[in-house]
Amino acid sequence: MGLIEKIKDGSARAGVVGLGYVGLPLAVEIAESGLEVTGIDVQKHKVDAINAGKSYIMDVPSERVASLVRAKKLSATSDYSRVAELDTINVCVPTPLRKTREPDLSFIVDSIRAMAPHMRPDQLLVLESTTYPGTTEEVLVPILEEVGLRPGVNVEVAFSPERTDPGNKAYSTRTIPKVVGGMSPRANEAAVALYGRCIDKVVSVSSPKVAEMVKLLENTFRSVNIALVNEMAMLCDRFGIDVWEVIEAAATKPFGFMPFYPGPGLGGHCIPVDPQYLTWKARAEGLEPRFIELAGQINAQKPAFVVSKVVDLLNDRGKALKGAKILALGVAYKRDVDDVRESPSIDVMTLLLEKGAAIEYADPFVASVEVAGRKFTSVEPTEERVAAADVVLLLTDHTAFDRPGIAHAGRLIVDTRNAFKGIVSERIVRV
């Protein structure tokens, strides 16, 4: 029986390499579609957790994992030789930036090199890790060819960009449309068949390079528009205008406007990082993506702007920032998640510490965090602690925060997310 037929009738065995924010939700969806799934990860604690029926990802309840493990539809291992047993393999490993702001593809390269000796003809390999256009063909394919595997001849290769949005209650792995670009028509057909089992809508494009560019366009679009509204927030502050009121009024236009909202900076793994992949590739091709770079520069300025506002507000009250008690509310990069990757809250806290502020933080999702080489543990934002702070600095608008109580007890509240909307108080300053 051929690869596509096995995927369609449910007899194919699937594998997911990398069991993080992207890989684990995908593995669960594929397993719930009826295929037997083997997860592969080099981190032993993840493998042990999955095999014990426990989830470490907020969006994936442990009950779903445990049920699949009991049904023998989901298991995990660190042994790459298990790839030989699989018919489909989805690679969902991290793609960070180096300190030089260049793409770090070492996780992709290492995982492909580890599995290639164990791969066999008539398998489907799909890369999901965000990267620059051309990675599938320029990096992945040569490694396969070293072991005699040729895309479109004896193995199928495709790219499908992950679109995970942690904490999003409206859209999940299943309901977010999946873009697929194969290196051959059969690769496209096989990938569409695989995702079609567990994703509501699959969108096929002409090549992996197109699919790779799709993800970068999506997040560069967001980065640029967030930069625009962050710059607008700084302009409105200088003009004495409430930027949140401006956005709310502009959003009433039924065409030609899409509201984006300012914050203390730009966070999460994708939006601050993905445009850097595009700018790196553009430079390699002799192009200068000035618009994209400018957006990154504007977003990078926002944490310093927030700190300067705190300094000014304290000065107005006759107090220096050095030695001031700051209670930071939220260190996750966005509301109601436990993810601190690229969080602007960390950047703001780092700048405050460098200027001598005494900082505590409260976050119901993040028990501890390292800032400027120091480990901090989350505290409870009690009425006494709020009242004792010289500044309560709202950085992440978790729904669990008692906004009325904080507004009542706080002496000075700096709100970077419009979390205190509707609460009128001279002690609340929105930035």
Q: Respond yes or no: is residue 270 known to be catalytic.
A: yes
CB-based contact 127:53 (threshold 8 Å): no
Q: State the Cα–Cα distance between residues 393 and 352, nearest whole angstrom.
A: 11
- From 30, 24, 75, 72, select the one nearest 48 (Cα to Cα): 75
- From 176, 170, 228, 165, select the one nearest 201 (Cα to Cα): 176
Which residue carries 């394919």 as its tokens? 141
Q: State the Cα–Cα distance between residues 406 and 423, nearest whole angstrom.
A: 11
Q: State the Cα–Cα distance between residues 78 and 38, nearest whole angstrom.
A: 10
- From 337, 326, 331, 401, select the one nearest 369 (Cα to Cα): 331
Q: State the Cα–Cα distance between residues 73 and 53, nearest whole angstrom.
A: 12
Task: Please give the DSSP secondary-structure letter assigned to residue 184.
Answer: S
Q: State the Cα–Cα distance between residues 23 and 126, nearest whole angstrom.
A: 12
Name the catalytic one among 92, 198, 236, 270. 270
CB-based contact 319:328 (threshold 8 Å): no
Q: Quote the tokens at residue 143.
A: 């490694």
Q: Is 413 helix (H, G, I), strand (E, B) or coil?
A: strand
Which residue carries 């960390």 as its tokens? 346
DSSP E strands, 12-72: 13-17, 36-40
Report the catalytic residues. Answer: 270
